[in-house]
Amino acid sequence: MAGVSEIVVGGSVLALAEGDITRFTADAIVNAANSRLAGGGGVDGAIHRAGGPSIMAELDRIRAEIGSCPTGDAVVTAAGDLPARWVIHAVGPVYRDGKQGEPELLAACYRRALELAAAHSARSISFPAISAGIYGYPVAEAARIAVSTVASGLRQGESSVERATFVLFGREVFDIFAAALDRQGRPSADG
């Protein structure tokens, strides 16, 4: 399935790319972190490996200050060796059955990441499919929430973000996001 790979929302571009987010240049890269901000596998492991130890050193300082980052929230560090200025460490929910507030928490962490990007005057931001790996969120549902939340954040128009890109690992996840973006881009979904 081809699907669309970008749409214009509120004067900004919402795009999809397939690949490794650590190789993708953007002002801000979003990490799928855990609330301990302790690093881990998946995209979190890749970001710390590629970005180098300065990112964890900064998270150590943040942890000393705030303890942990609640699910649905995010914190910002510099991006070390990554092709970016900031990493926004967003904490998505662990998926149980979808009735434990997971949709709201997933939407909250995308909204928060966009807010933090705007607070740092970022013009471009890249997102992974938060919660859709180790945290077990069904990908189609995670994609629908991700695309609609970021689209509505961009549509509000006061953001510095001119380009938001979902950088997706593997063709399968890309195609699922493409279907969600396609639905979002239709006039009826766009309001």
Query: What is the set of active-site residues?
Result: 44
Q: Does 34 bind ligand AR6 (CB under 6 A)?
A: yes
Q: Pick one of 22, 71, 77, 159: the residue that binds ligand AR6 (CB under 6 A).
A: 22
* Site for ligand AR6 contains 42 (CB under 6 A): yes
Residue type at 191 in one-letter notation: G
Q: Residues touching ligand AR6: how many (CB under 6 A)?
A: 24
Region of residue 142 (phi > 0: left; psi between -120 and 50: alpha; otherwise: beta): alpha
Footprint of ligand AR6 on 107-146 (CB under 6 A): 128-135
The span of 15-23, 70-78, 96-104, 157-165 binding ligand AR6 (CB under 6 A) equals 15-23
Edge-to-edge strand ranges of the sheet holding 74-78: 6-9, 12-18, 163-168, 124-127, 28-33, 86-91, 74-78
Q: 75-94 mask for ligand AR6 (x: CB under 6 A)?
A: -----------------x--
Residue entry with tokens 């890309």 = 174
What is the nearest approach in angstroms of ligand AR6 to the Cβ of residue 147?
Answer: 14
Structure tokens at 155: 């549509």
Nearest to 110 by CA among 136, 132, 85: 132
Strand 163-168 and strand 12-18: pairing? Answer: parallel
Site membership for ligand AR6, residue 72 (CB under 6 A): no
The structure tokens listed for 42 are 């998946």
Q: Which two tokens stand for residue 126?
A: 């890249």
**Contact stretch for ligand AR6 (CB under 6 A) within 3-11, 38-46, 100-108, 148-156:** 38-46
Q: How far apart are the first and last CA of the chain?
A: 25
Shorter beta-carbon distance to ligand AR6: residue 78 or 134 = 134
Question: Which residue, 122 or 139, is less far from ligand AR6 as judged by CB?
Answer: 139
Distances (CA, A) of 136 to 31, 90, 94, 168, 178: 16, 16, 7, 16, 20
Among 69, 84, 108, 167, binds ligand AR6 (CB under 6 A): 167
Contact residues for ligand AR6 (CB under 6 A)? 20-22, 32-34, 40-44, 46, 92, 128-135, 167, 169, 173
